[in-house]
């Protein structure tokens, strides 16, 4: 070991010992562990990666950055506080002591990550944990290094002043709101907030892919600042000690700042680029979008999606086009996203933005059909501006995978359609048609669609009204009974367990809807903004249920959520399929009284045992705010019907509701609904 290395190691070791053997250190750890264990006693994220990349990770890095500021200042002022500084400065040392001691503060604070890491490990799975730990440690180290350097530099610059500590703490508290005020809550504020209290850049399925280079640039910005600030502290110290401008330290200050600045500028320009392209997304308006009346209708799609070269996804579409109008047509209009370039076609094609005009070889008579073949390719990304935050990537095809919904026009739609209307699903659905989708993906990629899977990478439905396609390296699928599970690899085991419950629920409830032909259910655990709406209709014989992968733990949390989810989501789809159209979510009341859904859910859950159904209904009523809010009476009426007439009694109620929903108009009170149930079922 060289002489210099010996001094570095010794200064680092001594400072670390002075920090860690002080009584405040174990107390801090005890309080920290208690806080984390209490805060995250029930929920830290769906997986270790979600936990460390999300709330747990942000809190631990953010909160400890405050401690890091203070500890940096405490460490820097130690010699002055103990009056050792005059001695220390006469020793033949250089910047290595300052750097080593600063490094010791960072090292000491890294021990605060033990508890969050243990919590994350408990969540598992292990591969998710091991995949995330290096990134989490890097982010924490950079943040602590930066905050520690600020603390050091403040003391070196201003001297050992007591007011430095509250000023540093106040600065930490203020940095997040001030950065948001300064930038109006728009993108760049997330860069200025070193406390990392901004939204997580992580999604269970895509990892950090959707955030692009932002996380790396964020780290680069603060690594550069940490270097620059630390070098400034060294420069100030050296200048005092040598009475010269230390060239190396000065160079490092400039290098660090340049590194940070270029990273920050790239971060900003990325957000600006995305913002310029971003589509506004406003959930406030729920009015129906206008749908163009189509002359043309597509009766069948056969799409071969070749995603093996994701830099250039290629689609081969065969369509059966029908003239739905009353006059012959000599051309046909289709809608296809403008970044998808038509490279081959069975008919001459002209293009205007998203609109394709196909010149038909001869006029197509009303009701007649013709087959069209289109080959198109292209990589693209669609960003949305969501609640004034950073633009977010929603639909894309390119390196990293594809996430495609009808809203982006990834397959040709008949007529003129406004694409990008992301939150109005109704305008994107098309007339029921035969749809066959064949997907080729790179090795290791998973693929899923809302259409029933019929083979390896092949999905098909006879009456599909829409189709999505997702291919991602982390996506995995599995079959559980009639349920197709699509989930990130880390969540697949848990998703399979939920799928079993869906399967059982489906088995018990579908007999009550004899007109509905449901072959299966796709349970997709996807991320927060995949573009679906809760009222997403079934793709023909397949129910689609999409759940936010980041929120999977909610499924475990309460009886209430359990009721809302497993029962009502399946029932929603069954009602929708039985009615033949999506149920209006804004209607004054849901199609069926919720007590009917409650009874059916309890029936499915308790396998038809009337005593257990009664107990479940009571327990559910008690779990509601204020206790039983009326569930008991109508649900008990249904239970009476069930006890007396069995499934036939319940079936009678459902049949009446489907055949004559208006008979419930004006029936609003619990007593009236209970009486209606009894009357319809012929039970008193």
Partner 1 sequence: MEIVIEELSKHYGSVRALDGVSLRVPGGMFGLLGPNGAGKTTLMRILVTLLAPTSGRVTIGGIDVMRDPAKVRARLGYIPQEFGFYRSLNAYEMLDYIGTMKRIPPRERKRQVEAVLEEVNLTADAKRRVGTYSGGMKQRLGIAQALLGDPDLLVVDEPTAGLDPEERIRFRNLLVRISGRRTVLLSTHIVADVEASCTGLAVLRQGRLAFAGTPEELVERARGRVWLVEVEPGEWDEVASRVQVVSSRTVGGRVQLRVVADENPLGRGVPVEPGLEDGYLAVSGSAQREEWLVHV
Q: Nearer Cβ to partner 1, position 5 or 559? A: 5
Choose one: 80-88, 163-171, 247-255, 405-413; the region binding partner 1 (CB under 8 A): 80-88
The length of the chain in residues reads: 684
Tell me how far, at minimum, the Cβ of 81 lies from partner 1, in Å.
9
Alpha helices in 47-94 (DSSP H): 48-53, 55-76, 78-81, 85-88
Q: Walk across the sheet containing 349-352 and list its strands.
A: 349-352, 355-364, 329-335, 413-414
Choose one: 10-18, 124-132, 292-300, 301-309; the region binding partner 1 (CB under 8 A): 10-18
Tokens of 96: 């290595």
Q: Nearer Cβ to partner 1, position 86 or 588? A: 86
Q: Nearer Cβ to partner 1, position 242 or 350? A: 242
Q: Nearer Cβ to partner 1, position 12 or 146? A: 12
What residues contact residue 367 under an 8 Å CB cut-off, 6+ apart?
322, 323, 324
How far is residue 76's CA from residue 58's CA, in Å, rounded to a whole number? 26
Choose one: 83-91, 245-253, 489-497, 502-510; the region binding partner 1 (CB under 8 A): 83-91
Integer-rounded Cα Rg, in Å, for the chain is 31
Q: Nearer Cβ to partner 1, position 11 or 155? A: 11
Tokens of 483: 């349920």
Contact call for residue 2 and partner 1 (CB under 8 A):
no
Tell me how far, at minimum, the Cβ of 94 lies from partner 1, in Å.
8
Alpha helices in 159-210 (DSSP H): 164-182, 189-192
Contact call for residue 284 and partner 1 (CB under 8 A):
no
Q: Nearer Cβ to partner 1, position 87 or 365? A: 87
Please write down the HEC assignment for all residues of 475-531.
Answer: EEEEEECCEEEEEEHHHHHHHHHHHHHHHHHHHHHHHHCCCCCCCEEEEEEECCCCC
Binding mask 229-258 for partner 1 (x = CB under 8 A): ------------xxx---------------
Give the residue, chosen from 26, 30, 31, 82, that forms a contact with partner 1 under the rule CB under 8 A: 82
Contact call for residue 95 and partner 1 (CB under 8 A):
no
Q: Nearer Cβ to partner 1, position 86 or 287? A: 86
Choose one: 76-84, 101-109, 402-410, 553-561; the region binding partner 1 (CB under 8 A): 76-84
Report the candidate in 279, 348, 316 with the shortest Cα–Cα distance to residue 437: 316
Contact call for residue 660 and partner 1 (CB under 8 A):
no
| Tokens 């500028």 -> residue | 265
Tell me how far, at minimum, the Cβ of 1 lies from partner 1, in Å.
9
Cis peptide before 125 (omega within 30 of 0): yes
Tell me how far, at minimum, the Cβ of 101 lies from partner 1, in Å.
12
Contact call for residue 645 and partner 1 (CB under 8 A):
no
Report the candidate in 253, 235, 252 with the shortest Cα–Cα distance to residue 244: 235
Q: Rounded to an integer, what is the distance from CA 207 to the centroid of its chain?
A: 9
Contact call for residue 97 and partner 1 (CB under 8 A):
yes
| Tokens 């007999």 -> residue | 511
Q: Nearer Cβ to partner 1, position 10 or 589? A: 10
What residues contact residue 76 under an 8 Å CB cut-off, 6+ apart?
101, 102, 151, 152, 154, 155, 156, 233
Binding mask 13-32 for partner 1 (x = CB under 8 A): -x---x--xx----------
Q: Nearer Cβ to partner 1, position 10 or 622? A: 10
Choose one: 59-67, 92-100, 166-174, 542-550; the region binding partner 1 (CB under 8 A): 92-100
Tell me how far, at minimum, the Cβ of 103 lies from partner 1, in Å.
16
Contact call for residue 92 and partner 1 (CB under 8 A):
yes
Contact 511, 497 (CB under 8 A): no
Contact 523, 543 (CB under 8 A): no
Number of residues that bind partner 1 (CB under 8 A): 26
Quick check: helix, strand or coil at residue 161? coil
Contact call for residue 351 and partner 1 (CB under 8 A):
no
Give the residue, chosen from 42, 86, 586, 625, that forms a contact with partner 1 under the rule CB under 8 A: 86
Tell me how far, at minimum, the Cβ of 241 lies from partner 1, in Å.
7
Tokens of 455: 């083979």
Element (H, E) at 361: strand 355-364
Q: Nearer Cβ to partner 1, position 82 or 269? A: 82
Contact 224, 253 (CB under 8 A): no
Q: Nearer Cβ to partner 1, position 91 or 163? A: 91
Tell me how far, at minimum, the Cβ of 31 lies from partner 1, in Å.
21
Choose one: 3-11, 216-224, 564-572, 672-680; the region binding partner 1 (CB under 8 A): 3-11
Contact 44, 51 (CB under 8 A): yes
Report the candidate in 47, 53, 29 with the shortest Cα–Cα distance to residue 113: 29
Tokens of 419: 């694409």
Give the residue, chosen from 27, 30, 87, 174, that forms a contact with partner 1 under the rule CB under 8 A: 87
Contact call for residue 3 and partner 1 (CB under 8 A):
yes
Contacts with partner 1 by CB under 8 A lie at 3, 6-7, 10-11, 14, 18, 21-22, 78, 82-84, 86-94, 97, 241-243
């Amino acid at each position: 070991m060289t002489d210099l290395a010996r001094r570095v190691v010794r200064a680092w070791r001594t400072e670390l010992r002075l920090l860690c053997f002080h009584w405040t250190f174990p107390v801090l750890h005890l309080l920290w562990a208690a806080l984390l264990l209490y805060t995250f006693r029930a929920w830290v994220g769906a997986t270790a990666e979600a936990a460390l990349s999300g709330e747990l990770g942000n809190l631990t890095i953010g909160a400890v950055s405050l401690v890091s500021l203070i500890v940096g200042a405490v460490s820097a002022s130690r010699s002055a506080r103990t009056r050792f500084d005059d001695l220390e400065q006469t020793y033949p040392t250089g910047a290595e002591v300052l750097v080593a001691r600063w490094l010791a503060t960072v090292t000491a604070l890294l021990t605060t990550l033990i508890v969050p890491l243990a919590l994350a490990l408990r969540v598992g799975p292990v591969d998710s944990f091991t995949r995330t730990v290096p990134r989490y440690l890097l982010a924490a180290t950079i943040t602590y290094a930066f905050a520690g350097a600020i603390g050091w530099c403040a003391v070196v610059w201003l001297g050992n002043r007591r007011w430095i500590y509250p000023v540093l703490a106040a600065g930490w508290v203020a940095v997040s709101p001030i950065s948001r005020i300064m930038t109006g809550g728009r993108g760049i504020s997330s860069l200025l907030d070193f406390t990392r209290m901004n939204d997580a850049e992580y999604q269970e399925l895509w990892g950090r892919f959707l955030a692009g280079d932002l996380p790396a640039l964020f780290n680069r910005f603060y690594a550069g600042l940490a270097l620059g600030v630390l070098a400034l502290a060294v420069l100030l110290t050296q200048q005092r000690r040598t009475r010269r401008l230390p060239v190396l330290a000065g160079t490092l200050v400039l290098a660090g700042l340049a590194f940070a600045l270029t990273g920050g500028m790239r971060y900003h320009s990325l957000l600006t680029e995305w913002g310029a392209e971003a589509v506004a997304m406003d959930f406030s308006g729920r009015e129906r979008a206008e749908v163009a009346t189509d002359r043309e209708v597509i009766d069948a799609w056969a799409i071969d999606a070749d995603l093996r070269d994701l830099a250039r996804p290629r689609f081969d579409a065969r369509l059966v086009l029908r003239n739905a109008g009353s006059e012959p047509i000599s051309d046909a209009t289709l809608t296809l996203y403008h970044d998808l370039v038509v490279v081959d076609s069975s008919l001459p094609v002209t293009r205007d933005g998203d609109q394709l005009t196909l010149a038909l070889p001869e006029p197509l008579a009303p009701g007649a059909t013709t087959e069209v073949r289109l080959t198109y390719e292209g990589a693209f990304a669609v960003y949305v501006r969501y609640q004034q935050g950073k633009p977010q990537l929603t639909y894309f095809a390119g390196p990293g995978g594809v996430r495609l919904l009808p809203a982006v026009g990834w397959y040709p739609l008949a007529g003129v359609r406004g694409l990008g209307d992301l939150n109005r699903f109704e305008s994107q659905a098309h007339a029921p048609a035969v749809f066959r989708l064949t997907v080729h993906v790179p090795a290791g990629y998973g693929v899923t669609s809302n259409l029933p899977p019929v083979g390896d990478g092949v999905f098909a439905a006879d009456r599909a009204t829409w189709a999505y396609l997702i291919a991602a390296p982390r996506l995995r699928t599995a079959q559980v009974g009639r349920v197709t599970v699509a989930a990130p690899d880390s969540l697949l085991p848990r998703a399979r367990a939920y799928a079993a419950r869906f399967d059982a629920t489906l088995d018990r409830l579908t007999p009550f809807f004899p007109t509905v032909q449901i072959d299966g259910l796709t349970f997709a655990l996807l991320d927060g903004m995949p573009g679906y709406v809760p009222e997403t209709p079934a793709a023909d014989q397949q129910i689609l249920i999409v759940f936010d992968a980041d929120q999977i733990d909610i499924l475990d949390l309460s009886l209430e959520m359990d009721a809302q989810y497993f029962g009502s989501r399946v029932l929603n789809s069954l009602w929708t399929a039985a009615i033949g159209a999506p149920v209006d979510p804004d209607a004054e009341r849901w199609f069926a009284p919720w007590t009917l859904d409650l009874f059916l859910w309890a029936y499915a859950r308790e396998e038809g045992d009337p005593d257990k159904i009664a107990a479940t209904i009571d327990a559910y009523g008690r779990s509601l705010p204020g206790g039983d809010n009326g569930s008991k009476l109508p649900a008990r009426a249904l239970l009476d019907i069930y006890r007396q007439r069995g499934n036939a009694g319940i079936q009678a109620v459902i049949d009446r509701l489907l055949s004559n929903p208006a008979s419930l108009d004006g029936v609003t009170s619990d007593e009236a609904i209970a009486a209606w149930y009894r009357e319809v079922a012929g039970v008193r």
